[in-house]
Chain A
């Protein structure tokens, strides 16, 4: 079995449970999934790392029916606001892709899965969010 890499660098897969991380402005606490030269909120330039929650709320979605040939449809694209701060763009997984099942403001929880394998057998690990039955 090949090794694993995260699909994006703000997903951390180490020995423990996978988690999302953000660059956090030392001055105002604004969170960024990518690196920033300066904080877009306050303008300061010092950043630390912050571990983000793996639970949140579905604040927007679309059910995509038309996409590039390589992308299976239909799928649910979602905006999730995370508990404790931060937001991510993600697919909603483990749910029927229809408007009756996808409920705005429902609690969701992060999960991970293999999204692709390269020629060396290395797996790309992606995150998605699913309905949070425990909430």
Chain B
């Protein structure tokens, strides 16, 4: 049986815009903060993994040149919006394999620099010649549906509504209302503003049913996690041990074949697989969860993941939000950080920041937004394509 893995250090930047810093500053500073939080230094680390979707070329080695070049292996990972969680899991796997007893995971992204938004699709060509695997002769965005994210996830939400009653514009708007409200007491959130249900519904429509206030913003940010083996943890200072958080499950999945998957990315099946494996690994029941940070890139996404993560009765995601269950004072608080919708979504940082959030509550250090007496929590991210990571964290004595 592989050794358990524990979190001993966490840090994240406030998400937002950092015009005077680059992604290397964000990543390096947050790594130093996470190591300080765990009373360790780069010289204690045996392995390092760095997640960044848009600056993937040896960013880890560049970070080492800022925080310490010690010759340890560093893995630069990308996995779309699951990139940060993939970096954390890379370190977990190295520790579980016995190749390392302590490691550093970093997720970082900078999306607010001018010119960042890439040109989508192909420009009009003067002569129609078939191109690519579908033999396209001209741009198909807006002709054969949309592949832009707000629309793709809107379709994921309406696909759920096609199969289950009680899901509509109102339910999606309530999710955004909740997450904006939650973010108002999170000083690390990119936005901390409360919006009424009416304001959310009346904000500019992007891709029905997602209005602007139901969509995550782009932004900059970073998060870092220091991980250790249980054997190593037992040798550390009592002050470090008493703040340690156990990783009771760490799971990654990709999307298995389903017929419509080639035209509508299936974000459901892989999430269900990951959740079921995580509950099995940890012995935790969905009913036991004190808080959940899940991948609400759009309000439509959060709703379907209530069901995929087994937080509600099958088909009951509409009732779940209507009942107030995912509010911070509800049965299963979801996205008490404000979620991607309001905390922000610097892509490479997101999966590590979710783990930061849950670990901070389990340590009892979440300040005004603390979920009282939180003992077990779940994090979930999806990278479209697709990659899903689920982690279950627990407060335990060691």
Contacts and interface: CB of A to CB of B under 8 A. Distances in A.
B155 A60 contact: yes
B206 interface: yes
Nearest to B147: A89
A7 B136 CA distance: 6
A64 B162 contact: no
Interface string A43-87: 000000000000000111111111110111011011101000111
Q: Count chain B CB atoms within 10 A of each CB in A60, A68, A90 and give the residue with the most.
A: A60
Most buried by A among B150, B206, B208: B208
A120 interface: yes
B397 interface: no
B207 interface: yes
Contact of B145 (A34, A35, A68, A89): A89
A8 B142 contact: no
Interface in A18-57: 30-35, 40-41
Nearest to A72: B142
A116 B124 contact: yes
Contacts of A90: 144-145
A14 interface: no
A65 to B, nearest CB: 4
Contact of A65 (B155, B204, B259, B260): B204
Contacts of A35: 133
Main secondary structure of the interface of B (DSSP, over half): loop
B257 interface: yes
Contacts of A88: 144, 263
Contacts of B148: 64, 67
B205 A65 contact: yes
Given A10-B134, A60-B156, A77-B155, A91 B208 contact: no
Given A63-B208, A89-B263, A75 B125 contact: no
Nearest to A33: B262
Contacts of B139: 70
A125 B183 CA distance: 48
Contacts of B257: 30, 40-41
Interface in B156-180: 156, 158-159, 161-162, 169
Given A64-B146, A79-B159, A116-B138, A5 B151 contact: no
Contacts of A5: 128, 130, 137
A9 B142 contact: no
A127 to B, nearest CB: 8
A127 B134 CA distance: 14
A104 B158 contact: yes
B125 A34 contact: no
Contacts of A61: 155, 158
A118 interface: yes
23 contacts: A9-B135, A30-B257, A30-B259, A33-B262, A61-B158, A62-B146, A62-B150, A62-B151, A62-B208, A62-B210, A63-B208, A64-B142, A64-B151, A66-B205, A67-B142, A67-B146, A68-B121, A74-B205, A75-B142, A90-B144, A91-B144, A118-B126, A124-B137
Given A64-B146, A78-B145, 16 more contacts: A6-B137, A7-B136, A30-B257, A35-B133, A41-B257, A59-B260, A64-B208, A65-B205, A65-B206, A65-B207, A65-B208, A66-B204, A118-B125, A118-B127, A118-B138, A124-B138
